[in-house]
Structure formats: C-alpha cells, structure tokens
Amino acid sequence: MKKRYFSITAIVAVMFLVALSGYLRLQAKHDVPARVIMDNNGGRVIFTHQAHAQDYGFECADCHHDNIGQDQPLACGSCHPSAFDEKFRVEHQKTFPNDEACMRCHSETPTGPLAKEDKPDTEIIPTRADAFHNQCMSCHEESGGPYGKDSCYDCHAR
C-alpha cells in the first residue's frame, strides 16, 4: 500500500516540477508581436500584427509613420491619445526617447507649462481611435481587405 502512495507522490512531484519550470522559463522576445489587442468603443480589435508584418509584407514604417530616432516605433498613444485630456498633457512627454519628438507638435522643446498660444492645435492631431481607423480603413480599401460599413465586424468584436 505504501509503495502505491510513493509512486503517486513521485508522479505528482514530477508533474509539479515540469509545470513550475514551464511557468518560470522566460519567453524569448519576439521582434514582432503576434497580435495586438486594441480596446475601443466599436468593440475590441485583435490586430494580427505578425501576419501584417510578415505574411502581407508590410514594413514597420507603413503603419508606424516614424521612429523618431530610435530602433523601435513609439507607442501610438504617445502622439495619439484616447483624449486630449489633462492626463495626456501631463504624461505624454514621458513616452518619448528624446527631445526630437517634441518638434512634431511643438515649435520648440517645452520646458514648462505652455501659454495657450504655444499649445499645438489638437483639432488637427487625430485621437488614437481616429488614427487607427483612418490608417486601417485606408489600407484595407487600397489592398482589398475588409472595407466598408458592412465589414465592421470582420475586425471589431461584437
């Protein structure tokens, strides 16, 4: 009887160690993420980043319109917030790698609070949702991908 419990305990211990080692093992870093999940009012979009980059042959600059002096593209929300609110005004500069990025929207590198006349016109800078939608829809229209008002749920979750 004791032999039986010993065998079961040994098997459970081995399974536990295998599971633990799989959990603790670091994943290899991928240059291109497989998918990017974007939450929005129209329903969550699961963007197949790897397919667009590798299978369809798009270059990084086709979507990430510049790298502003760095190896990896900036997060879209660095320039295109969900809203131009106080949180964005205070925190967006922390997402840039250098002062060069400031010149995209500002005439000179801000060093403190800006006067109203020195602030960029946020009417001409699209929010993240508008930027994504315009970018995706224009590319889909040009390349024959899902496009038009009847194709929303090809990308957006219901």
Here the CATH number for the domain that contains residue 109 is: 3.90.10
102 is in an annotated binding site: yes
79 is in an annotated binding site: yes
52 is in an annotated binding site: yes
Cβ within 8 Å of residue 21, ≥6 positions away: none
- Residue 29 sits at the vertex; the CA angle it makes with 67 and 62, to the nearest 5 degrees, is 30
139 is in an annotated binding site: no
- As a dihedral over the C-alpha atoms of residue 45, residue 73, residue 59, residue 48, rounded to 10 degrees, the angle is -20
For residue 58, the model assigns a pLDDT of 84
User: Whole-model pTM?
Assistant: 0.62
63 is in an annotated binding site: yes
**Could you tell me if 68 and 100 are in contact, meaning their C-beta atoms sit under 8 angstroms apart?**
yes
pLDDT 10s per residue in the chain (158 long)? Answer: 577 788 899 999 999 999 988 888 876 666 667 888 887 777 888 888 888 888 888 888 788 776 655 667 777 888 888 888 888 888 888 888 778 778 878 888 888 888 888 888 888 888 888 888 888 888 888 888 888 888 888 888 87
152 is in an annotated binding site: no
For residue 29, the model assigns a pLDDT of 65
For residue 31, the model assigns a pLDDT of 66
- Looking at the structure of the chain, the number of domains it has is 1
64 is in an annotated binding site: yes
92 is in an annotated binding site: no
140 is in an annotated binding site: no
Q: Does residue 30 fall inside a structural domain?
A: no
Dist CA 115 CA 1 (whole Å): 83
Domain range for 138 is 36-154
Q: Does residue 71 fall inside a structural domain?
A: yes
Residue type, 20: L
For residue 12, the model assigns a pLDDT of 93
